[in-house]
Amino acid sequence: MFEQALVPGGERVWDVGALCRAVGDALAARFNPVAVRGEISGFSRASSGHCYFSLKDAGGQIRCAMFRRAASLLDFSPKDGDCVELRGRLGVYEQRGDLQLVVEHLQRAGQGALFEQFLRLKEKLEKEGLFDAARKRPLPLAPRGIGLVTSLGAAALHDVVSALRRRVPHIPVLLVPAQVQGAQAPQSLVRALEQLYARAAAPPEAGAVPIDVILLVRGGGSLEDLWAFNDEALARTVVQSPVPLVCGVGHETDFSIADFCADLRAPTPTAAAELVSAPRDTWLAALALLQQRLTEALERQIDQRHLRLDQAAARLGRPSQIAQREQLGLARLAQRLQHAMLLKLQHETQIVKALEADFPQKLRSALGAHQQRLATAALRLQLLDPALVLQRGYALLQTPSGELVRSVRQAPPATALRARLADGSLDLTVVPPRLL
């Protein structure tokens, strides 16, 4: 029995609750039981086991509730974007005055209009080669600067910034805010990316943050919430990035067209930040390995220089005192070279620890200078070779025992001598001087 009152003129005035019950009874009598087909949106499952969602199509939507008993009979896990057919009872939820469909049976009817649109665009862009692995670039090991595109009010911004501050607080981050949901979101995202592209492609300026990698991120949500990242214009903008681009949209099970176009897909915004920020321990281990390799390379260079010195000394045979002094000088130079290389090693190690990008060039310059000094010393030593003196017409006199003749007192008459010339040797006998 409906609660109602009469006013002058015969018009009835309804209590709110009574009107809701009357409308609900009218709907039940007119439509129930009812079968409906549409697309699931905003699906959630409460701790009680009840399920709540909206069913929609291009013409409208209606709130639905599926209680635990009916939900326990499902043979699949409903999710946003699923196109389903359901049977239930149409009524009014009196406490809020909302039209509500209580679902008693639910079954699949397809993948949903939005998801079908997603698949069509994915197939189109894949045929054009936008997803090819060959065009995807590796991420920089140590980016000088990171570009970030997301919403200022998004939780993803806090997650990304927290991860970067924890892992690489020394790397600057350039944020270009954009809308990440709604009809204007695709154009806003495209403009933000183009702004970062211009900065990344421009010549470096004093005080400007160089951009070596870009993060495009957004937190989780329904298929409708993430739909901006399935825009064709945004997809074509993503593949035009002049630097590697990482897309971290939604949760691990969420996929978007932007994910396929990016150089790398991250399962979450936090994971995207971690992919471009190697932790400190990793860099320290890499630096230790570089230091070990550098030390080994320098030791090999020193050993090679010692070998060359030994070979040069063997070719000289019995050098004069000047040659001996030069050889001692070369030994001192070798010691100085070794000491200089060790000092250089320490210096270069400090530079490596500071992550100086010009470290390899400095090492090559220092090593080239040492090589030049060693080559100059070797040339001076070669110029002292007695063989060069012999080529100018001089002869080297030796006794049969090999002793050098430095005075006439060493060669009285009848002494047998050997004269060493540039192209051979002559046997001589000393004769008395003739009287004039």
pLDDT(307) > 70: yes
Contacts of 229 (CB under 8 A, 6+ apart): 180, 189, 218, 247, 249, 256, 257, 258, 259
**What count of other Cβ atoms lies within 10 Å of the Cβ of residue 66?**
25
Residue pair 359/367 in contact (Cβ under 8 Å)? The answer is: no
Contacts of 292 (CB under 8 A, 6+ apart): none
135-278 is a CATH 1.10.10.10 domain: no
Superfamily name with CATH number, domain 4-111: Nucleic acid-binding proteins (2.40.50.140)
Residue 430 burial class via C-beta count within 10 angstroms: exposed 0-12, middle 13-18, buried 19 and up? middle
pLDDT digits 0-9 by tens, 83-109: 888 888 888 776 776 778 889 888 877
pLDDT digits 0-9 by tens, 185-214: 999 999 999 999 999 988 877 667 899 999
Give me the mean pLDDT over the 367-371 stretch.
Answer: 84
What is the rounded CA–CA span in Å between residue 314 and residue 309? 9
CA 412 to each of CA 105, 191, 401: distance values in angstroms, whole numbers, following the listed order: 132, 104, 16
Give me the mean pLDDT over the 296-301 stretch.
Answer: 90
Helix (H) or strand (E) holding 273, with range, is helix 269-275
pLDDT(317) > 60: no
pLDDT(357) > 70: no
Beta strands across the sheet bearing 264-265: 173-177, 146-150, 213-218, 245-249, 264-265
Residue pair 268/142 in contact (Cβ under 8 Å)? The answer is: no
Going by C-alpha positions, the residue among 276, 250, 253, 251 that lies closest to residue 263 is: 276
Q: Where in the chain is the domain with CATH 2.40.50.140?
A: 4-111
What does pTM read for this prediction? 0.47
Residue 193 C-alpha from the chain's centroid: 18
pLDDT at site 252: 80
Q: Where in the chain is the domain with CATH 3.40.50.2300?
A: 135-278
pLDDT(268) > 60: yes
In the block, tokens 């949500």 appear at 221
pLDDT(3) > 50: no
Contacts of 31 (CB under 8 A, 6+ apart): 90
Give me the mean pLDDT over the 232-255 stretch.
Answer: 92
pLDDT(258) > 90: yes
Helix axes 359-383, 321-353, angle to 10 degrees: 180
- Range scoring the smallest mean pLDDT among 11-15, 45-49, 145-149, 426-430: 11-15
pLDDT(345) > 80: no
The residue ranking higher by pLDDT, 146 or 322, is: 146
Pairing label, strands 83-93, 98-110: antiparallel
The residue ranking higher by pLDDT, 235 or 377, is: 235
CA 132 to each of CA 165, 180, 213, 258: distance values in angstroms, whole numbers, following the listed order: 33, 26, 19, 13
- The Cβ-side half-sphere exposure at 241, using a 13 Å CA radius, reads 32
Residue pair 92/20 in contact (Cβ under 8 Å)? The answer is: yes
pLDDT(9) > 60: no
